[in-house]
Chain A
Amino acid sequence: MTGNSSAILVLKDVSKAFGGMPVLQHVDLEVPRGSIVSLLGASGSGKTTLLQIIAGLQEPDGGKLSIDGRDMQGVPAFARPVNMMFQSYALFPHLTVRGNVEYGLKARGVDRHERQRLVAWALQLARIEEFAGRRPDQLSGGQRQRVALARCLVMKPAILLLDEPMAALDRGLRAQVQRELISIQRAVGTTFIVVTHDQEEALAMSDHIAVMDRGQIVQFGEPRALYERPRSRFVASVLGNINLFDGSAEALGPCRALFRTSEGLEFVINHEVDLQLATIDAAGFRPERLVVSADPAGVANELPGTVEQVTYGGKLTRATIRIAGGRMLDATLVNVRGSTGACLTAGDAVHVGFPADAAVVLTE
């Protein structure tokens, strides 16, 4: 992973400890130019510290960090080609929208004509021209976020760091704001690095996701790859609900194996061609991949079960199903016309199918 000229940010073996407690351990990361990369993890996973190290607000204890091919050691925060959009947006309350957007250019001593040109460009880009004369407390949450974004983008940073960009917004607003953020990013081509603890946000926004756990990047990849082919139990469950079974596999045929769970259940599963079967120690099925039906549906690996609990959610029905041996499964059914989900009630006897190609095999 070295010498990749398409990478705008390269971290090599970056470590950081606070008072003897390791917060980041040997982090390697390459961020492709012009992409949106999410650092996904729970609080305490080290994602915010990593963001601060990239911004120059924290010095790493060890390792190398380069931006656009330039080593950043000893380069202070204000001199880095990086800007940060704060979780609270940190807009200056005493300045207008225009004043906020202009702030960094004034601080850097950009001359008036250039400043006006850049501010006009940024205001237009973020579609906040009509609010240019207002103060932050006269704006909605989404508008404030766009001001914060314009205030950073006007500086033409190589990398924009976004710290929990949706945290200050109402839930109902987030999907739309995500789309706007992505379309602005596509328009300017600036590399975005997003810190988030929300897996849906990471999946929806990112070109790549770095999943972090206890100071390490445990897996890096495209959202689909991480969701469909996580390596570890941790990554599998961070990206969404999953029914996990411990066990081992033996070969059945080409790309086909028999997975035997520790409870004694047997599933025929499909796997990638290059997978070493001996390394498999768990398999999982996402709730929406289970096939739940009143009569056997003819898919592989069908087991009888009893519905324990049903949560009807309109387009989706979530059910908890008990199968032989007392094991509980989470199932999510999409309520299309004529489907089982809309009719399911607690106590129903059902069949649960585990399609062979839906198996997520885990080696860690």
Chain B
Amino acid sequence: MTGSRLTAVDRATIAVPLAWMLALLAVPLVFVALLSVHGVADAIPPIAPLFGRTDGHWTLHATLRAFSLMAGDVLYRAAFVSALINAALTMIGCVAIGFPIALAIAQAPRSRRNGYLFLAVLPFWTSFLLRAYAWIGLIRDSGPINAALMSLGWIDHPVPMLFTPAAVWLVMVYSYLPFFVLPMYAVLEALPAELLAAAADLGARPAYAFRTVTLPLALPGLISGAVLVFIPAVGEYVIPELVGNSSTIMIGGILWDEFFQNRDWPLAAAIAMATFLLLIVPSFLLRRWIGPLGATQR
């Protein structure tokens, strides 16, 4: 890239993703933001018009009703906190399981890596719902796990696993694992093998080399992968609904209920906006933090 002048072709090339982002990201976001300041009405759609004409004057009927409702009810705060905790636990689980997987694949002989990667991603070729139901079958009271434990005589009664926070965690870690493994693998695979050879040559034992070379160089990738898991996990709705219980109500479920059950579209939109802001601010801070770290990778 010499100079900062863009040719017509450059502009046209950039215009395509720009238009895409505008249409599918910016426009819906503005839409949701506008929706959140509407009032409710017994109508179809169930919102009061934002502008009204009374006595020949245009009046703005924007209201912060939805936001004050959200701020005033402890349920929403609890649901936010529970969603954040659940997402954080999911992230930790994905890092703890996914990092060794990514490392093992990256250190496998070059000819086998793609095969292993394929195997790691293979389950995700079937429908997500199907896999969630498979988990329900496995961990329910009459499922094979409880049956096996009972036949071994280790337990007398089935251990309740389904419809617990642990079940939510298990299925979420399982579902989000590839989102961590793939970027983590890409970073680990790109680390020059010579760096570890050099560390060994300088007298570093494998554990020391891992701590002083592999880990610091993989950290930006690890953080990116963790964020990639954390952000969608916060808004996750389906898994807590399928395998969780009333104590695992999270913000995604609340949003769904407000929209479809209570038909309070502005409140649902306000919850969406709050979630968005809750995630975007730390993401920006994180970017600034790992930016310079990531730059040393070249």
User: Interface residues, chain A, CB within 8 Å of chain B?
Assistant: 55, 57, 77-78, 83-84, 86, 88, 90-94, 103-104, 106-108, 135, 137, 151-152, 155
Q: Are A93 and B217 in contact (CB under 8 A)?
A: yes
Dominant secondary structure at the B interface: helix
Counting CB contacts under 8 A, is B110 at the interface? no
Q: Are B202 and A151 in contact (CB under 8 A)?
A: yes
22 A-B residue pairings within 8 Å (CB atoms): A77-B200, A78-B205, A83-B201, A84-B198, A86-B197, A86-B198, A88-B192, A88-B194, A90-B192, A92-B213, A93-B217, A93-B296, A93-B298, A94-B217, A94-B296, A104-B202, A104-B204, A106-B212, A107-B202, A152-B202, A155-B202, A155-B203
Given A93-B296, A137-B296, does the pair A78, B200 have CB atoms closer than 8 Å?
Answer: yes
- Of B197, B203, B297, most buried by chain A (CB within 10 Å of CB) is B203
Q: Are A78 and B204 in contact (CB under 8 A)?
A: yes
Bound together, the chains give a CA A103 to CA B208 distance in angstroms of 11
Q: Which of B244-298 contact A (CB under 8 A)?
A: 296-298
Contacts of A78 in B (CB 8 A): 200-201, 203-205
Q: Are B202 and A93 in contact (CB under 8 A)?
A: no
Bound together, the chains give a CA A57 to CA B198 distance in angstroms of 11
Contacts of A55 in B (CB 8 A): 201
Contacts of B296 in A (CB 8 A): 93-94, 135, 137
Interface size on B, residues (CB 8 A): 21
Counting CB contacts under 8 A, is B216 at the interface? yes
Q: Beta-carbon contacts of B24-68 to A below 8 Å, as 1s and 0s?
A: 000000000000000000000000000000000000000000000
Contacts of B203 in A (CB 8 A): 78, 104, 107-108, 155
Counting CB contacts under 8 A, is B21 at the interface? no
Counting CB contacts under 8 A, is B117 at the interface? no
Bound together, the chains give a CA A57 to CA B205 distance in angstroms of 14
Q: How many A-B residue pairs have CB under 8 A?
A: 60
User: Interface residues, chain B, CB within 8 Å of chain A?
Assistant: 192, 194-195, 197-205, 208-209, 212-213, 216-217, 296-298
- Of B195, B216, B217, most buried by chain A (CB within 10 Å of CB) is B195
Q: Are A107 and B201 in contact (CB under 8 A)?
A: no
Least distance between B171 CB and chain A CB atoms (Å):
36
Least distance between B293 CB and chain A CB atoms (Å):
8
Contacts of B216 in A (CB 8 A): 94
Q: Which of B202, B205, B298 contacts A103 (CB 8 A)?
A: B202
Given A78-B200, A151-B202, does the pair A137, B194 have CB atoms closer than 8 Å?
Answer: no
Bound together, the chains give a CA A333 to CA B147 distance in angstroms of 92
Given contacts A90-B198, A91-B198, A93-B217, 12 further A-B contacts (CB under 8 A): A78-B203, A78-B205, A88-B192, A90-B195, A92-B198, A93-B298, A94-B216, A94-B217, A104-B202, A107-B204, A107-B212, A135-B296
Contacts of B213 in A (CB 8 A): 92
Contacts of A88 in B (CB 8 A): 192, 194
Bound together, the chains give a CA A88 to CA B194 distance in angstroms of 8
Bound together, the chains give a CA A90 to CA B209 distance in angstroms of 14
Least distance between B137 CB and chain A CB atoms (Å):
46
Least distance between B214 CB and chain A CB atoms (Å):
11
Q: Are A84 and B201 in contact (CB under 8 A)?
A: yes
Given A78-B205, A93-B297, A94-B296, does the pair A103, B194 have CB atoms closer than 8 Å?
Answer: no
Q: Which residue of A lies closest to B201 (CB)?
A: A84
Q: Are A77 and B212 in contact (CB under 8 A)?
A: no
Contacts of A155 in B (CB 8 A): 202-203
Least distance between B162 CB and chain A CB atoms (Å):
45
Given A90-B192, A93-B217, A93-B298, does the pair A107, B208 have CB atoms closer than 8 Å?
Answer: yes
Q: Which of A90, A94, A104 contacts B194 (CB 8 A)?
A: A90
Contacts of A90 in B (CB 8 A): 192, 194-195, 197-198
Bound together, the chains give a CA A78 to CA B204 distance in angstroms of 7
